[in-house]
Amino acid sequence: MNLYQENHDLLAICKLAPVIPVLLVDETANAVPLAQALIAGGLRVIEVTLRTENAFDVIEVMAANTTEGIIGAGTLLSKEDVYAAKRAGASFGVSPGVTDQILSACAEVKLPLLPGAATPSEVMNLLSKGYSVQKFFPAQSNGGIAALKSIQGPMPDVSFCPTGGVTSTNALDYLSLENVVCVGGSWVAPKDKIKAADWQAITKLARHASALRKHSET
């Protein structure tokens, strides 16, 4: 798989649902029912952040037990993270920014990467390396919708997944932009709902989120 194919695959993944849930899962036992709840609500693409000690275990369990789910590893900060994510069965990776080590490691293990960019220079640098699908992070504190509109003019060939400060109240505004293919957010799986094992509530939130694209395209 070359970089073009990896980028094409990532774009296809991002188009599967308007929202990618960004998850922090403290208990590995919650991994499968949480993934199943999100998938039941129409959100098949899931990002598990590497902010807990058991994150790779969560990814492995989700990937092995949810055939419809596409499980990604978020917060990749090093080449070691990339290798561990691949071993755990992640289908894609997400990074808040980029380093040459991360890019090289993802290419080496053939892990499609959604790399983070916050400035036009970073967007241009990634585009020059073949990454036309990027994570705009931190979105809201980095200019949000206005910034993405400004970037779209000179760089219309880049598609974004804004993450960071994206909520149920502003997600539709982001999705209405031509250069936004999906958004990432944690509101669809609140920590209190996960802790309470309220999977029905999470499915309901996911269902609302998965319907956002239909509204944005009308």
pTM of the model: 0.95
Note the pLDDT tens digit of each residue in 177-202.
Answer: 999 999 999 999 999 999 999 999 99
Active site residue 27: no
User: 6, 47, 79, 86: which one is catalytic?
Assistant: 47
Could you say which DSSP state residue 163 is in?
A: B
User: 79, 86, 135, 193: which one is catalytic?
Assistant: 135
Cβ neighbors of 173 (< 8 A, separation 6 or more) are 145
In contact, 19 and 43? CB cutoff 8 Å = yes
DSSP alpha helix (H) spans, 66-186: 79-88, 100-109, 120-128, 144-152, 171-175
Determine how many CB atoms are found less than 10 A away from the CB of residue 167: 12
Note the pLDDT tens digit of each residue in 48-107.
Answer: 999 999 999 999 999 999 999 999 999 999 999 999 999 999 999 999 999 999 999 999
Active site residue 135: yes
Q: Which domain CATH number covers 25? A: 3.20.20.70
Domain residue limits at 207: 3-216
Domain count, the chain: 1
How large is the C-alpha radius of gyration of the chain?
Answer: 16
In sequence order, what are the beta bridge partners of 70? 45
